[in-house]
């Protein structure tokens, strides 16, 4: 395992978010999380229908995430390449983004407030140079009106609809 895999950097951004950076297979992953320790912080999703104290945990990075990513790199990296991965409760998305950088095709899911408030912005931040691709869904058929409608013969059935390229894989998000 390379030294870069263990390196992570934590930065406090101007907007009060905390940025966490990790290098995975030569790909720089950056995710923003809320500083929930800031006593002046008011959760902008507090009045959302899907808000709960449990939902607020989606805006943090758990120590277990770093251990999970380390395990992916050390023990499962070769098994991830080209595989479809469904991540339930993705939070800000660090684990799934790292899996995509290692070659997996990841669909990250969470509650709407977490997906739209943190997960999608983090996916966009990490895939800014890779435009969305018209990709097949699990049945390899498009639906009327979406980017996969029409001729799907050239689409990869391994990638999730609306996924964006990252490292050797791809990543998409879905609110549950």
User: Do residues 130 and 165 lie in contact, with contact meaning Cβ atoms separated by under 8 Å?
Assistant: yes
* Joined tokens for residue 46: 């507090």
Query: What pTM does this model have?
Result: 0.74
Question: What are the strands of the beta sheet with 8-12, ordered from one edge?
Answer: 8-12, 18-24, 27-33
Count how many domains the chain has: 1
pLDDT value of position 147: 34
Domain that holds residue 96: 3-142+151-175
The enclosing domain of 137 has a CATH number of: 3.40.50
Q: Is 82 left (phi over 0), alpha (psi -120 to 50) or beta?
A: left
Residue 130: per-residue pLDDT:
66
Task: Using the Cα atoms of residue 79, residue 82, residue 87 and residue 93 in order, give the sign of their dihedral.
Answer: positive
Q: Which residues contact 176 (CB under 8 A, 6 or more apart)?
A: 109, 110, 111, 112
In the chain (176 residues long), the average pLDDT of successive 10-residue segments reads: 50 72 90 71 63 67 89 93 96 96 96 90 90 46 34 60 94 95
């Amino acid at each position: 395992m390379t030294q870069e895999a263990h390196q992570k950097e934590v930065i406090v951004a101007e907007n009060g978010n905390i940025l966490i950076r990790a290098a995975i297979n030569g790909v720089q992953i950056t995710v923003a999380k809320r500083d929930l320790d800031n006593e002046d912080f008011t959760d902008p999703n507090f009045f959302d229908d899907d808000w709960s104290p449990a939902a607020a945990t989606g805006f943090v990075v758990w120590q277990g995430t770093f251990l999970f990513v380390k395990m992916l790199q050390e023990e499962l990296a070769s098994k991830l390449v080209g595989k479809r991965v469904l991540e339930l409760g993705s939070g800000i998305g660090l684990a799934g983004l790292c899996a995509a950088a290692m070659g997996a095709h990841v669909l990250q899911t969470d509650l709407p407030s977490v997906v739209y408030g943190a997960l999608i912005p983090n996916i966009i931040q990490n895939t800014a140079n890779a435009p969305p691709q018209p990709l097949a869904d699990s049945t390899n058929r498009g639906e009327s009106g979406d980017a996969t409608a029409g001729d799907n013969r050239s689409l990869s059935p391994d990638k999730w609809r609306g996924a964006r390229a990252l490292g050797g894989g791809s990543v998409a998000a879905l609110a549950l």
